[in-house]
Structure 1
């Protein structure tokens, strides 16, 4: 699994989550909401250090990651994070690599 963050989403994280180089953003599975992959589960985020990394990617010194225990949620898909201007928040898409 790979994590892709576009430049506008990265700017949003820096401003809204107040992340800086050397810090970590975790994407985690939460019960509630829905996603294209699983009904009743959605993706959340928090600023915290990893315990057991399942996937990670660094952008501008910031490490975005998913813990090993949450990889099931992605069902073999990559996570693409884009900025949604209308909602002023990140938007997640899940892409199955070919």
Structure 2
């Protein structure tokens, strides 16, 4: 499991969310859907104090991570965070990684 943040997504997190020097936690939440989960969607929140992270990546001074409690949502997938100009926000791409 890994997190990749594109340059355009990084710019959005810094400029639109003011995340420079901060942290962003990704988690699974009830309701919605993703290409890999029915009934669950992906959430994110500013969180500067990672507790029990299972995966982290740092880009342009921002730490992006998933904690142990949300690992279930991402098992078997790598997460790429990109920017969608039509919605002016992040888009999430799940790529199977063969881990279970």
Identify the TM-score tier after normalising by the shorter chain: over 0.9
For structure 1, the 5+ residue unaligned runs are none
- For normalisation by structure 1, the TM-score amounts to 0.93
- For normalisation by structure 2, the TM-score amounts to 0.91
- 1:28 — aligned with what? 27
Q: How does 1:31-46 map to 2 (within 5 A)?
A: 31-46=30-45
**8 Å CA contact retained: 2:27, 2:73:** no
For structure 2, the 5+ residue unaligned runs are none
**8 Å CA contact retained: 1:80, 1:92:** yes
3-state DSSP of counterpart to 2:20: coil
Q: How does 1:1-98 map to 2 (within 5 A)?
A: 1-21=1-21, 23-48=22-47, 49-97=49-97
Structure 1 segments of 4+ aligned residues over 4 angstroms from their partners: none
**8 Å CA contact retained: 1:82, 1:91:** yes
Q: How far does residue 97 in structure 1 lie from its aligned partner after superposition?
A: 2.6
- Aligned residue pairs total 97
Q: How far does residue 47 in structure 1 lie from its aligned partner after superposition?
A: 0.6
**8 Å CA contact retained: 1:54, 1:69:** no
Q: How far does residue 74 in structure 1 lie from its aligned partner after superposition?
A: 1.4
